[in-house]
Amino acid sequence: MRVELLFVTPEAEALIARCARVSHRSQGSGMEDDRRLIRKLINLGHESVLEHAVATFEISGISRACANQLTRHRLASFVQESQRYVNVEDRELVRPPTFSDEDWEKARALFQEAKKLYQALLSKGVPKEDARFVLPMGIETRLVLTANFRELRHILRLRLHRSAQWEIRELARRMWEILYTCAPSCFEDLRALAETREER
């Protein structure tokens, strides 16, 4: 799994605080003052001002099963690698941590057979959009996600929870680490969720 930040609103915390102060016609006195204001707003549940900052991630090496969960967050914007147009023969299978070595070898053998069938179908002139039907949900994919900070907080609250599926939890944890570095006051209250390991 690879999670790369492509873009984040520059000086996001300063922008959010400035937007928040419009409602009370108040002034700030620097970064720490801005961060105190943001923490207060989050504690009060007034997160709408967080919508003024956005982040864009490129995510690769996750399964299509994980991508399907992620794209359910409708307030985010996505572009996903198309199995309709891209030959995905070079993609690997994502290994669930619950698979024993023996089970993983069996899964990989089945996956190799599926890829052979996929290539055979393509060589017969079957369109990629139809040949892909033989590929498993565990095949790697790649996508770009853009969302505002409020929606990112929503995604992280749900996907960092210990009841979330292991792969999307790991993805959310990596996104949280990046976002916390960029705008700590906007994401620091999610640290406990991010640092909680999944129970099996």
Q: Provide the pLDDT for residue 196.
A: 84
Tell me what the mean pLDDT of segment 78-94 comes to. Answer: 94
Q: Provide the pLDDT for residue 200.
A: 46
The answer to whether 162 is a known catalytic residue is no
Confidence check: pLDDT of 199 > 70: no
Catalytic residue among 64, 159, 169, 173: 159
Tell me the per-residue pLDDT of 166-192, one tens digit each, with 9 for 90 and over. 999 999 999 999 999 999 999 999 999
Q: Provide the pLDDT for residue 83.
A: 93
User: What are phi and psi for residue 139, nearest 5 degrees?
Assistant: -70, 145
Q: Provide the pLDDT for residue 25.
A: 79
Are 85 and 112 within 8 A, CB to CB? no
Tell me the per-residue pLDDT of 30-49, one tens digit each, with 9 for 90 and over. 999 999 999 999 999 999 99
Are 187 and 166 within 8 A, CB to CB? no
- By residue count, the chain amounts to 200
Tell me what the mean pLDDT of segment 11-18 comes to. Answer: 97
Tell me the per-residue pLDDT of 87-141, one tens digit each, with 9 for 90 and over. 988 999 999 999 999 999 999 999 999 999 999 999 999 999 999 999 999 999 9
How far is Cα 137 from Cα 172, in angstroms, rounded to an integer? Answer: 19
Residue 23, helix vs strand vs coil: coil
DSSP annotation string for 70-85: HTT-TTSEEEE--TTT
Give me the chain's average pLDDT, please.
95
Confidence check: pLDDT of 198 > 90: no
Q: Provide the pLDDT for residue 28.
A: 78
Tell me what the mean pLDDT of segment 66-70 comes to. Answer: 97
